[in-house]
Amino acid sequence: MAEFKEISPNAPVGAKVGNWFNNRFPTVFAEYRKHMSEYYAPKNFNFWYFFGSLAMLVLVIQIVTGIFLVMHYKPDAAKAFESVEYIMRDVPWGWLIRYMHSTGASAFFVVVYLHMYRGLIYGSYRKPRELVWVFGCAIFLCLMAEAFMGYLLPWGQMSYWGAQVIVNLFSAVPFIGPDLALLIRGDYVVGDATLNRFFAFHVIAVPLVLIGLVVAHLLALHDVGSNNPDGVEIKAGPKGNRWSPDAPADGVPFHPYYTVHDIVGVSVFLMIFFAVVFFAPEMGGYFLEYNNFIPADPLVTPSHIAPVWYFTPFYSMLRATTDLMVNVLSIIIALAAVLTFLKSKSSMLIKVAIAVAALVAIVLLKTFDAKFWGVVVMGGAVIILFFLPWLDHSPARSIRYRPDWHKVLYGVFVVWFIILMILGIKAPGPIFSTASLSWMTNELVAMVGTLFYFGFFLLMPWWSQIGEPKQVPERITFTSH
């Protein structure tokens, strides 16, 4: 048993209460010091570092509002839509809770996309933070599952038909597809069994996994230390500052410095968040589709079925994977194999192995239906993010010190991602109404964007080493403001 720490009888009441708890629950105080007051973060964080704490804030908003919604929601295909209307119309402040939850779903993805992009440009996935990134990608994958399952619960037209389309995609998986789709639906069509399964996963199973992953993400981060815009390890620098002789000279305690710093980001975020909640909760049909205010009807199919905006980049990739794209991929693989065979300085055995692998890949592409490869592409677009720490071979971690054309490439990547997002919202067919541009279809442009997306990551081991990086400083650069 640990010895009790004594405190002066003349100490303030707050200090006495703190000492009383510290003597009886020292573990929580030790963890507080480890993760807050004695966790030293780089002193050059900029606005990009708001989004981690904002993601935590939105998670809390979603959990709290979700608890209140579950009090009145009925997971029954005959009553689900009516229960949502009851929440909106008759439950005191129910409309506010529902709109906070629906807006929070979109806000979560806005914040997470920006948080992941910050990790991308500053190399926060590089050694020794590979596990931090992997946990983060698992959170993103879990968040997508949570959002998809929650999207079915209002039981509106778009909820029903969106679930119908996405679940049917699993039937394209060879051999086990139909059984897998049946297992997910719980019935031969999307119905009451599907609603109950999705409700259970949305409310209990996935949030538990999500919270566990968030805890693992934070613990892994605090074990190796935070990255910074310069991509320089502060732990490797000189030791000693005003707080501790063992602390990094370029670090400051997370509390109170960054807890106060994050209040600025939280304040701005909440102003924007509640402006949307009060004045534009549907956001023109992007946050809440107008079709979802119509009860689900299995006999009436909406003219255009599209997922919510945060899924649309991956939905675009799914729609872009047609027979044409399979043929293009086959040609690309064949050309790559021929060039490797002719230009590579590797041994003949390796060249033959590459040629055989390319032949097998082409045969597989031609054997299975394009719909199946669409599912593979859509899933692969998320899974490939897990491997980013081992794809980037650049000598410089941060974008600040990479060749300037890297910044352009990252910018083009963002532009294509936004284009895919927009294309996923729009109906298939020509993008422009003029006859001269009728060849420029949604699927064709999305195919180019999909190839760029995967090319960006798959070719990263090659292009990330091209060019001369700028001189990386030994210590972080910081200007007080």
What are the backbone dihedrals phi and psi of residue 413, each rounded to the nearest 5 degrees, phi first?
A: -60, -45
Domains of the chain, first to last: 30-301 (1.20.810.10), 306-470 (no CATH)
Read off the DSSP letter of residue 299. Answer: T
Instruction: Render each residue's pLDDT in the chain as its tens digit; 481 residues.
Output: 556 778 888 888 888 888 888 888 888 888 888 888 889 999 989 999 999 999 999 999 999 999 999 999 999 999 999 999 999 999 999 999 999 999 999 999 999 999 999 999 999 999 999 999 999 999 999 999 999 999 999 999 999 999 998 898 888 888 888 999 999 999 888 999 999 999 999 999 999 999 999 999 999 999 999 999 999 998 887 887 777 888 888 889 999 999 999 999 999 999 999 999 999 999 988 899 989 999 999 999 888 888 899 999 999 999 999 888 888 888 988 888 888 777 777 778 887 888 888 888 888 888 888 888 999 999 999 999 999 999 999 999 999 999 999 999 999 999 999 999 999 998 888 877 776 667 678 889 999 999 999 999 999 999 999 989 999 988 888 776 5
pLDDT of residue 1: 55
**The model scores a pTM over 0.75:** yes
Encode 62-93: b = buried (16+ Cβ within 10 Å), e = exposed: beebbebbeeebbbebeebbebbeebeeebee
| Residue (of 226, 239, 174) closest to 373 by Cα position | 174
Q: How far apart are CA 348 and CA 358, in angstroms?
A: 15
Q: Is 253 helix (H, G, I), strand (E, B) or coil?
A: strand
Token pair 């815009």: residue: 229
How many Å apart are CA 320 and CA 450, to the nearest integer?
8
Peptide bond into 92 cis (omega under 30): no
CA 286-385-411 angle, to 5 degrees, is 65
Distance separating alpha carbons of residues 400 and 406, to the nearest angstrom: 10
Q: Give me the pLDDT at residue 480, please.
A: 65
Q: Name the token pair of 481.
A: 């403001």
Helical H segments across 172-233, by residue range:
177-185, 192-200, 206-224
309 φψ region: left (φ > 0), alpha (ψ -120 to 50), beta (else) = alpha
CB 62 within 8 A of CB 246: no
Note whether 109 and 51 are within 8 A (CB).
no
The answer to whether 241 touches 247, Cβ cutoff 8 Å, is: yes
State the DSSP code for 5.
P
At residue 338, the pLDDT reads 85
The CA dihedral of 295, 300, 306, 311, to the nearest 10 degrees, is 50
Phi, psi of 340 (to 5 degrees): -65, -40
Question: Among candidates 166, 199, 183, 184, which has minimal Cα distance to 80?
Answer: 199
DSSP string, 10-58: TS-HHHHHHHHHHHH-HHHHHHHIIIIIT-EEETT--GGGGHHHHHHHH
Structure tokens at 11: 């100490």
